[in-house]
Structures are given as structure tokens and as C-alpha cells.
Chains A and B, each alone.
Chain A
Amino acid sequence: MMVEKWIERALFACALFCSLCVTAVFGFLVYFSWPLFGDAQGLAVVFSWVWKPFMGRFGILSMVAGTFGLAVLALGIAYPLAIGVACFTHGLAPARIRNAALSLVYFMTSIPTVIYGFVSVFILVPLFRDHFERGTGFCLMASAITLAVLIVPTIVISLRAEMDQRSEEVSMAARSLGLTPAQELLWVLLPCSGRGLVIAAVLGFGRAVGDTLVALMVAGNAPVVPRSLLDSVRTLTAHIALVVATDSQDRSYYSIFAAGLMLFLIMACLTLVIRGLGRRFGQGKENHGSAA
């Protein structure tokens, strides 16, 4: 009894510590970017479209556009691929190929981002530069493809976790109805995994928004709103990395706290979406959950 109580307390302390850390990060971000929110003029300067720090223009909205553009594009490429991989490895593929594919996916999660960026700079970027007339090759499309490779494992793994769980519940019934594995997947398992499909997408999107190095190395970092897939973009994360070493007395320094706050809020919204979905889908399956 005593031991159980102590374990409970220790776990509670861990949870408390984590939430305090997150709250503190948020607090610091607000505190440091407060000088901006203090006066309306500062706010207008930061929430504008032009970034020319040496001309007194500190707008970060182009970076917000760049972040979303890149993340949406990367998800658009990665999501169908990842669903394909998840389905293929879930019943369709022969065991040996399935295992090989899965270990590859797990292996991909452990490859450092900088490797992807590096390889892209030497392979993808020249490809885009030589085959299209426009731009330097450091562009939205090149970085979106790189980022897509990066987030595929995230999506596959989270989707498979959900599918495994659902499969336990439905596969007996599906098989007894005489469905082939492909039919089972298409008509039973995927429709049952609605929550998993959404959560996997949100997680992949979050990973794409949060990644710094791929954008920094491959996207070209020009602070403009992209008008073509071959234009360079700068993301919020890359912006912070580029500006963080400047003179800390400078106004451009405040802009990175605003950028950090923005990223924090985007991530917080994504988490809320996941939780909201979990609750909504969860209610219908309450008895399943408790049975498992």
C-alpha cells in the first residue's frame, strides 16, 4: 500500500514538473515579447509583411505564411504516402516484406534531420535548379519533399497504432463475413480508424511546423510570401535560428520572441484539436475502451 502511494506521488510530481515547465516557457515568451504588445506601434511593426531589419521593418507575417505553406505542402505529399505504407504493412504485405518495411520506417525516425537537409542540398536542390528556369533551387517544393520524407514515419507509426487497436475489435467479424484482407482494410478498418487518421495528420503537421533544420538548409530563407512552388521561403523556426545571434538590444530580437510565441500558439491549437477529437471519438467507443 505504502509503495503504491509513493509511486502515485512520484508520478504526480513528474506530471506537475512537466506542466510547470510548459507554463514557464509560455510565461517567458509572453514576458520577453511584452515590450511589443505594450505599444500598438510595435505590434503593427511586427505583424506586417516586410522584413528589412536594417530599414526598421520587422514584419514576420511572411514567415507565418512560409511556415504554413511549407507544412501544408509537406503534409499533402507525406499523408497519402504514409496511409499507403500503413495499409500495406497492415495485412496486405507478405510477412517478410512487411517486417522489412516496418524496420525501415522505424529506422527513419532515428535519422538526424541534418542528414536529410544535407542530402537535399546536394541532390534535390540542383535538380530543381537545373530543370526549372526559375529560382536558385532552394525552394518551397524542395524543402516540402524533404520534410515529407521526415514526417512519413511519424504518421505511419501513429496511424498503425490506431489500426492495430481497431483491428483487434473488428477483424474476427470481418473475416467471418468472408472479407478479403483488402476488403477488410478498405471497408472496415479504415472507416473505423477515423480518429487515428485525423490524429496522425495533426501530428505530422505539427512535426512539419516544428522542424527547423530542413527549412533552414533547403528553403532558401528569403522572407517573402511564396507565389510559386519554386520560390524561396523562410519559416518561423528558421527565422528564429537566423536572428537569435544578433545584438540583443535590437528590435529584430523581439521579433523572434513574437515568432516563438506564434509557434507555441500554433502547437497549442494543434494539441487542443487532438484532444477535442479524442474526446469526441472516444465517447462513442467508451465501452470498447474500458473493455480493452
Chain B
Amino acid sequence: MSKLSLAAFIVFMGSFFVAGTVHGSELDRFAGLKGTIDIAGGTAHVPVMNDAAKNIMKFNPAIRITVAGGGTGVGVQKVGEGLVDIGNTGRALSDAEKNKYGLVSFPFAVDGVAVAVNPKNPVNELSSQQVMKIYSGEIVNWKDVGGADAAIHVFGRDEASGTREVFWEKLLKKGDVAQGVNIVASNGAMKVAIAQDPHAIGYLGIGHVSNDIKAIVIDKMTPTQENAKSGAYTVVRNLYMNTKGQPSALEKSFIDYIKGPEGAEIVKKSGYIPIPN
């Protein structure tokens, strides 16, 4: 083994060691704790919860965390009735819900949705009215919104998608969606569809926007992570964890972990924007 490769090897192994120690300090708050946390609710939360649970249970096998979906409504009901410890919601709780069950909310991420087109498309800006008409099938040609004379290829997401929910509620105002809209099953598939097709329009989580596609300015609002966080871009929702009353020590540690730096990395990986403590 040459000197250089040996050095590289040492650096390589060293990086594990360094990463390991950083890893440890974030998870240290779980040392000595034990018990179970049952989580249910919003489907958008599930990947974040699963990754966090995996890290925590690996660090301390005495802690057991179960994660279930079910949707925002189920999250409120289950945590309210005491069936789970943390109920996830994709919206702020109503006053009625808060009062009825005595729930406490912890926002931890912003889920923003951008409308996107192919980079070759000259259109940079649309009004929400125009987007509504494109999705309802009223506008079918790009030339009607300042683009080339070509049919608009409209892409949407599947029924179970939280991204679709935000887009439909916040941008389409729960308006009609034409039947001919092509449906793709993930943010990744949406990106491929738009990146390949010069006449496509679609929508995806802001965290998934990259150079392959072009995010569109909507009603003068630019869809960036910063604007989504500041509230300057409004096609967003917050993701919440909720507990019944103040959280227990274990639940508190879990919530702090999600809102801490390592949790923020998990949130980013899932395509959302973390809300720091």
C-alpha cells in the first residue's frame, strides 16, 4: 500500500470516527431513557418520523417507537383519545380541537409546493388564476399564457400525496381538476416527467426543485425555501407534532431531536424545510 493511499485510508476511517462522535452527541439525550412512543397521523410526516425512529432505536434499544400514517384527521383523533403519544397533523389545530382534547402543537417543518415547467419553456411567471385554468382544462395551449404555440402537458400527483393536497387547497382553492391530467406517483417521477418534456407543467415539493426543471413565479411570489419559511410564498403548510398536554420526558426528547440539527437534516432529506427551535 502506497503512502498516499494509506493516508487516504486513515482520513477515510477518521471521518467515520468524527461523524460517529457528532452523531452521539445529538442522540445523547436518549441515553438512560426507556419506554415506547406511538406515533400516528399525517402521511407527509411518516418518512421523517421513520428515519428519526430508526436512529433513536439503534442508539438505545430500550426505546421502542412505532410510526403509523392515517392522515391528519386520524392524527388528531388518536392523540386526543390517548391512543397514541404523538399525533401528526399537516395543518394547525382548530381552537375546537385544542380545547376539546387539550393538545399542544410543535411545528417542525414547512412543506412548500412549487409549480414547475421545463427549463426550455419561456414562461417564467403565471397567476394562480392561470394555473387553476390550466389544471381544470380551460387553458390548453402555452400561447394563451405567453409561451410557444404548443399543447400544455399537465402532470399531477396521486390521491394519497400530501404535495397534491397543499397544491389543491392552497393554489387551486379546491377547484376542479380535469380528468386527462397525467398522474405520477412521486416527487422524483414528477421531476423526470417535467425535465424530459418541454411542454410539461407540474408541481412538487420546493425541496425537490433542481436545475433540471424551472420553478414558476406565482402571483409575483418566488418559490424558494427562504420565502416559504418567511411566509412570502403562500403555497405552503406547516407540519406539526401534537401531544395531549405537555409531553413526557421521552416525548420531549423525541420532539427536541426532530427540531435539532440532526432532525433538520432528516427533514431536508424528505424534501421539507426545517423550522429550527
* Chain A residues whose CB sits within 8 angstroms of the CB of B181 once the complex forms: 222
Taken residue by residue from 26 to 67, chain A's Cβ proximity to chain B (1 for < 8 Å, 0 otherwise) reads as 000000000000000000000000111111000000000000
Q: Which residue of B lies closest to A224 (CB)?
A: B179
* Chain A residues whose CB sits within 8 angstroms of the CB of B174 once the complex forms: 54
Q: Are B159 and A53 in contact (CB under 8 A)?
A: yes
Known pairs A122-B196, A224-B180; list 15 more (Cβ under 8 Å). A52-B177, A136-B153, A217-B189, A221-B158, A222-B180, A222-B181, A222-B182, A222-B183, A223-B179, A234-B183, A242-B158, A242-B160, A243-B159, A243-B160, A246-B71
Partner of B179 from the list A50, A244, A247 (CB cut-off 8 Å) is A50
- 19 inter-chain pairs at a CB distance below 8 angstroms, sorted by A residue, are A53-B159, A55-B176, A121-B196, A122-B196, A129-B153, A135-B153, A136-B155, A136-B193, A138-B193, A216-B185, A221-B183, A222-B181, A222-B182, A224-B180, A241-B185, A242-B159, A247-B71, A247-B73, A252-B159
Q: Are B183 and A242 in contact (CB under 8 A)?
A: yes
Q: Are B159 and A137 in contact (CB under 8 A)?
A: no
**Cα distance A125–B195 when bound, in Å?**
13
* Chain A residues whose CB sits within 8 angstroms of the CB of B43 once the complex forms: 245
| A248 at interface, CB cutoff 8 A | yes
**Cα distance A217–B184 when bound, in Å?**
8
Q: Would you list which residues of chain B between 156 and 178 have a CB under 8 Å from chain A? A: 158-160, 168, 174, 176-177
Which residues of B are interface residues toward A (Cβ below 8 A)?
A: 43, 69-71, 73-74, 151, 153, 155, 158-160, 168, 174, 176-177, 179-185, 189, 192-193, 196-197, 200
CB distance from A246 to the nearest CB of B (A): 4
Q: Are B168 and A232 in contact (CB under 8 A)?
A: no
Q: Which residue of A lies closest to B152 (CB)?
A: A136
* Chain B residues whose CB sits within 8 angstroms of the CB of A84 once the complex forms: none
Q: Which residue of A lies closest to B161 (CB)?
A: A245
Q: How large is the interface on A (under 10, 10 to 19, 20 to 34, 35 or more residues)?
A: 35 or more
**Cα distance A247–B70 when bound, in Å?**
5
CB distance from A241 to the nearest CB of B (A): 7
**Cα distance A204–B182 when bound, in Å?**
27
Taken residue by residue from 105 to 123, chain A's Cβ proximity to chain B (1 for < 8 Å, 0 otherwise) reads as 0000000000000000110
**Cα distance A244–B158 when bound, in Å?**
10
Tally the A-B contacts, defined by beta carbons under 8 Å: 77
CB distance from A235 to the nearest CB of B (A): 12
Q: Are B160 and A246 in contact (CB under 8 A)?
A: yes
Q: Are B182 and A220 in contact (CB under 8 A)?
A: yes
Q: Would you list which residues of chain A between 124 and 146 have a CB under 8 Å from chain B? A: 125-126, 129, 133-138
Q: Are B179 and A51 in contact (CB under 8 A)?
A: yes
Q: Would you list which residues of chain A between 53 and 105 have a CB under 8 Å from chain B? A: 53-55
| A249 at interface, CB cutoff 8 A | yes
Q: Which residue of B lies closest to A126 (CB)?
A: B196
Q: Are B70 and A136 in contact (CB under 8 A)?
A: no
Q: Which residue of A lies closest to B160 (CB)?
A: A245
Partner of A220 from the list B70, B74, B183, B196 (CB cut-off 8 Å) is B183
CB distance from A61 to the nearest CB of B (A): 13
With A221-B183, A243-B160: A136-B200 Cβ-Cβ less than 8 Å: yes
* Chain A residues whose CB sits within 8 angstroms of the CB of B153 once the complex forms: 129, 135-136
CB distance from A42 to the nearest CB of B (A): 18
**Cα distance A242–B43 when bound, in Å?**
14
Partner of B160 from the list A55, A137, A244 (CB cut-off 8 Å) is A244
**Cα distance A216–B73 when bound, in Å?**
28
Most B Cβ at <10 Å: residue of A241, A242, A243, A244: A242
**Cα distance A134–B174 when bound, in Å?**
28
Q: Which residue of B lies closest to A234 (CB)?
A: B183
**Cα distance A126–B43 when bound, in Å?**
33
* Chain A residues whose CB sits within 8 angstroms of the CB of B184 once the complex forms: 221
Q: Are A137 and B70 in contact (CB under 8 A)?
A: no
CB distance from A57 to the nearest CB of B (A): 10
Q: Are A136 and B182 in contact (CB under 8 A)?
A: yes
CB distance from B155 to the nearest CB of A (A): 7
